[in-house]
Amino acid sequence: MANFTEHDEDQTRLRLILERMNIDGIARCMQSSTPGLRSPAVKVIGNVCAGPSDYVDAIISCGSLKTFLIIIKTEHNSMEVVKEVCWAISNITVGTCKQIGEVVGAGLISALSDLILSNPNYCVSSQFRNRER
């Protein structure tokens, strides 16, 4: 399903997911202890966050920001999942002032700052790390 929602320029597939499936169920899958379920769920949520404002509101309403915070603070063994969460957060923060305020209010900016400070080698892209000065 994660691949199903990629490259969906006209939002047709995202609309289909939101109409036919329960976004709350997908959001709950992000809390799974099974990486094979958690990682694709995070990717789908991130793709939905790239959609229209009402899609992002649905993601925020179902408690995803709290789950994002937990993942950022605890998922250091699976930085790929953390990367997907960061991507979802970046999609949300190009939204409305209210949506940005929700991200800030959930403590996500602070948690991302802590993540960067505690793990700079991972967080800095290899293209910049290997650059000659």
- Residue 122: band (very low, low, confident or very high) from pLDDT cuts 50, 70, 90: low
What's the longest Cα–Cα distance across the chain?
52
- Under CATH, domain 3-129 is a member of which superfamily? Leucine-rich Repeat Variant (1.25.10.10)
Residue 46 in this model has a pLDDT that exceeds 50: yes
Residue 131 in this model has a pLDDT that exceeds 60: no
- Between 67 and 4, where is the model more confident? 67
Residue 127 in this model has a pLDDT that exceeds 60: no
Q: Where are the beta strands (DSSP E) in the chain?
A: none
Quick one: pLDDT at residue 25?
A: 84
| Prediction pTM value | 0.79
Indicate the residue type of 94: V
CA dihedral 4, 17, 27, 35 (to 10 degrees): -30
Report the range of poorest mean pLDDT among 29-38, 52-61, 97-106, 113-122: 113-122
Collapsing DSSP to helix, strand or coil, 45 comes out as helix
Shortest CA distance to 13 belongs to which of 37, 44, 42, 39? Answer: 44
Q: 19: part of which helix (H) or strand (E)?
A: helix 12-20
Most confident segment among 9-23, 63-77, 96-110: 96-110
Section 121-129 average pLDDT: 54
- Between 32 and 10, where is the model more confident? 32
Collect all residues with Cβ–Cβ distance below 8 Å to 70 and sequence separation of at least 6. 31
| Structure tokens belonging to residue 80 | 């790929």
Residue 90 in this model has a pLDDT that exceeds 90: yes
